[in-house]
Amino acid sequence: MIESKIGLLRTQISKLENPNFNLDGWKGSTTIILERIFGAKYSGIMLIDKIQNKVKDLRHLTGDYINNIEQCKQEGKEIIEASITELETIGLPEKKEKSVEGLNISLIQNQTVNISFILSALEDELTKIQLEEVKKLIETDESKSVKRKKIIEKISGFGKDVASNVLANILLNPSMWG
C-alpha cells in the first residue's frame, strides 16, 4: 500500500525533468496526490502551493532575464522527497473513522435552525389535547430512551396513520430541503 503511494510521489519527481515541464500543472497534480495520501491539511500541500516561478526581465540592464524555474523544481523535489521519507519512516497517517448513528446536527454558536415546521406538522395532525400530552412527555426528567418509547406509544395510540402523516408533512415542507 505504501509502495504504491511512494511510486506516485516518485512519478511526480520524474515529471520535474520533463522538457515540457508545466509548473502549474505539476503543482496541481502533486497537490491532489498529497491530499489523497496525507489529507487536505498536510503542510507539504501549502509548501507546494507557495512555489512560484518568478521571471525578471533585465534585458534593458544586462541583456538577460532571470527565470527561477530550476529553483522551483528543486523546492518541489525536496518537498516530495520529504513526503516519501515520512511515509517510509512513519507510515501512512491514521484515518479517523466517523461513526454515524442516526442523524447528527452540529451547529456553530451563531447558527440557528428553524424547526418550527416540525411543530406545525404536529399541530396539523394532533388535537390540542394530544399535542399537550406529547409536550408533557418531552418535558419529563426521564432518560431519552424512556421518553422515546413513551412518545412512540402515545402517538401510536392516537391512530395508525398519525405518525406517518406527521412524517409526510415534515418531509413535504419546503423548509426541510433548504
- Per-residue pLDDT of 23-81, as tens digits, reads 999 999 999 999 999 988 899 999 999 998 887 655 555 656 667 889 999 999 999 99
Domain total for the chain?
Answer: 2
Are 71 and 25 contained in the same domain? yes
Radius of gyration of the chain (CA): 30
Q: How far is CA 145 from CA 6, 19, 129, 148, in A?
A: 49, 67, 23, 5
Q: Which run of H or E residues covers position 65?
A: strand 64-67
Residue span of the structural domain in which 53 resides: 2-89
Instruction: Please give the Cα distance from 50 to 41 (Å, whole number).
Output: 15
Whether pLDDT at 163 is above 90: no
Half-sphere exposure of 12 (CA within 13 A, CB side): 31
Residue type, 112: T
104 belongs to a structural domain: no
12 belongs to a structural domain: yes
The percentage of residues in the chain with a pLDDT greater than 90, rounded to a whole number, is 35
Instruction: Please give the Cα distance from 176 to 50 (Å, whole number).
Output: 42
Outline where 16-143 has alpha helix (H). 23-38, 43-50, 69-89, 116-125, 128-138
120 belongs to a structural domain: yes
Q: What does the pLDDT read at residue 63?
A: 59
Q: What does the pLDDT read at residue 100?
A: 47
Whether pLDDT at 90 is above 50: yes
Whether pLDDT at 177 is above 70: no
Per-residue pLDDT of 92-135, as tens digits, reads 887 655 544 555 555 544 444 456 767 778 888 888 898 899 88
Are 8 and 83 contained in the same domain? yes
- What pTM was estimated for this model as a whole? 0.51
Q: What does the pLDDT read at residue 118?
A: 76
pLDDT class for 85, splitting at 50, 70, 90?
very high
Q: What is the DSSP letter of 174?
A: G
- Average pLDDT of the chain? 82
What is the maximum alpha-carbon separation in the chain? 92
Q: Which three cell numbers stand for residue 79?
A: 518537498
